[in-house]
Amino acid sequence: MILVDSFLAGCSVVCCFHLEAKQYGTLSWKRKEFTVNGLKILRRIGVAAVCILSSGTHLLKAQGAATGLKKSVLQTVADVPLPGPAVRFDYQSLDTGNERLYIAHMNADHLVVFSTAKRQVTANLDGFTRVHGVIAVPEIDRVYASATGKHEVIAVEAKTLKIVGSGGPIVYPDGLAYAPTVKRVFVSDEHGGVDAVIDAQTNRMIASIPLGGGAGNTVYDAGSNRILVAVHGVNELVAIDPESLQVVGRYRLPGIENPHGIALDPEHRLAFIAGEENHSLTVFDLNTMKELSVQSVGDDPDVLAFDSGLGILYVAAESGTVTVLRESRRELHQMGQITLPHAHTVAVDPRTHLVYFPLENIDGHPLLRIMRPTE
């Protein structure tokens, strides 16, 4: 610990700098002044610091380079207890019209139904063995969930929350997408190397489309009427015609490794695709079908969510790092990062701009942390 005494504006300031051993060799200091309650305080950027004014009435904390008094990029609105054991969650799906959030409580084998209006759990459905993916399709009054432990996709009637059918077998059903033009559900078979297809009218599996690698997330792009799949191993984005069930395009993703999570910005014809192996994110042009840019995110990125109202992208990683980026002129600019325990899944409401993080273990219990951007 190094103690530095400074006398500024007539007040004594004691700054305690905590340095790791490896930092003792050479130190580079940059001086900067800022004002707190009319007092000029000297900040030294480059180390973690706790500055205590001699009056004892002010406590300032700075962590990391240039953080100073900067606000967190997200602030907590509410922590809502969730039912079941403190075990892993997976995907979420938001039905904004009916004010419901569906949450896959994977290792509890439950599908949680949460009222976003009342901020409370309204149902906790069982029978969803190792549930991974979930997607709400309000136009046909259905919710689909991938029961990975049963190698099938389960169909739920949204009005009654009753199971009305299932389709399979699928080796490892994961992410889900719905193509409204043909009323079909497309399922990432992560270990089977295919995208499986379920007829939403009969709940029967009708096809398996080879991808040439492991299936990451699957999404529907309304602008092109195509299913898009991130494919592990070959590092490609694969486009599928939902009517003919044929692969109609394969597009290299040279900037990322093992593409997995996808989110779309339909208005600006962009796809955001995260690479698990090199903690990177690519901005992909859906007009030219080419990468535009690549940047770093948290280790092992998983689920992405895009707030089209604010133009903000959230990238949740297995490491617990959540990266927040703003889209402007078809480019992404990082707003900041936060760390939450096991926060690898995220959902956002583009109307209220509230962000949802189911956290598996906070003081021995699961909870849903609801946050909003501070900017």
Q: Does residue 253 sit in the same domain as residue 299?
A: yes
- Can you read off the two tokens belonging to residue 190? 């992560």
Give every CB contact of residue 288 below 8 A, 6+ residues apart in sequence.
none
Which pLDDT score is estimated for 375?
81
Which pLDDT score is estimated for 351?
97
Average pLDDT, the chain: 85
Which pLDDT score is estimated for 344?
97
Q: Does residue 42 sit in the same domain as residue 122?
A: no
Write phi, then psi, for 149 (nearest 5 degrees). -65, -20
What average pLDDT score do residues 202-228 get?
Answer: 97
Q: Does residue 56 sit in the same domain as residue 160?
A: no
Q: Does residue 190 sit in the same domain as residue 320?
A: yes
Identify whether 276 is part of a domain.
yes
- Select from 39, 62, 85 the last residue of a domain: 62
Q: DSSP H helical segments within the chain, as ranges? A: none
What span, in angstroms and rounded, lies between the C-alpha atoms of 310 and 72?
17
Q: Does residue 51 sit in the same domain as residue 79?
A: no
Structural domain including 36 reads 2-62
- Select from 62, 94, 113 the last residue of a domain: 62
- Select from 42, 62, 82 the last residue of a domain: 62
Nearest to 368 by CA among 343, 349, 350, 351: 343
Nearest to 32 by CA among 41, 24, 23: 41
What span, in angstroms and rounded, lies between the C-alpha atoms of 118 and 310?
24
Reported confidence tier of residue 331, pLDDT bands at 50, 70, 90: very high
Number of domains present in the structure of the chain? 2
Percent of the chain exceeding pLDDT 90 equals 81
Q: Does residue 143 sit in the same domain as residue 85?
A: yes
Q: Is the pLDDT of residue 129 over 70?
A: yes
- Give strand pairing partners of 217: none
Measure the CA angle with vertex 93, ends 364 and 216; round to 5°: 90
Which pLDDT score is estimated for 269?
98
Q: Does residue 153 sit in the same domain as residue 94?
A: yes
Identify whether 313 is part of a domain.
yes
Which pLDDT score is estimated for 24?
29
Give every CB contact of residue 126 below 8 A, 6+ residues apart in sequence.
109, 110
Which pLDDT score is estimated for 70?
60
Nearest to 317 by CA among 293, 341, 291, 343: 343
What span, in angstroms and rounded, lies between the C-alpha atoms of 56 and 14?
11
Nearest to 173 by CA among 202, 138, 205: 205
| pTM for the model | 0.82
Identify whether 67 is part of a domain.
no
Each residue's pLDDT tens digit, 289-306: 999 999 999 999 999 999
Identify whether 68 is part of a domain.
no
Q: Is the pLDDT of residue 100 over 80?
A: yes
Identify whether 16 is part of a domain.
yes
Q: Does residue 44 sit in the same domain as residue 180?
A: no
Helix (H) or strand (E) holding 371: strand 365-373
Helix (H) or strand (E) holding 84: none
- Give strand pairing partners of 131: 147
Identify whether 298 is part of a domain.
yes
Sheet architecture: strand order including 280-285? 259-265, 270-275, 280-285, 290-296
Percent of the chain exceeding pLDDT 70 equals 81
Length of the chain equals 375
What span, in angstroms and rounded, lies between the C-alpha atoms of 317 and 186?
24
What span, in angstroms and rounded, lies between the C-alpha atoms of 122 and 239?
37
Q: Does residue 205 sit in the same domain as residue 258?
A: yes
Identify whether 199 is part of a domain.
yes
Each residue's pLDDT tens digit, 101-111: 999 999 999 99
What span, in angstroms and rounded, lies between the C-alpha atoms of 302 and 317?
5
Identify whether 69 is part of a domain.
no
What span, in angstroms and rounded, lies between the C-alpha atoms of 207 and 114?
32
Cβ atoms 211, 240 nearer than 8 A: no
Q: Does residue 133 sit in the same domain as residue 192?
A: yes
Reported confidence tier of residue 71, pLDDT bands at 50, 70, 90: confident
Q: Does residue 154 sit in the same domain as residue 34?
A: no
- Can you read off the two tokens belonging to residue 323? 């990266």
User: What torsion, rounded to 10 degrees, do the Cα atoms 197, 199, 110, 337 define?
Assistant: 50
Cβ atoms 256, 281 nearer than 8 A: yes
Q: Can you give the CATH number for the domain in which 133 is found? A: 2.130.10.10
Cβ atoms 107, 120 nearer than 8 A: no
Cβ atoms 359, 340 nearer than 8 A: yes
Cα 345 from chain centroid (whole Å): 5
Q: Is the pLDDT of residue 33 over 80?
A: no
Q: Does residue 50 sit in the same domain as residue 83?
A: no
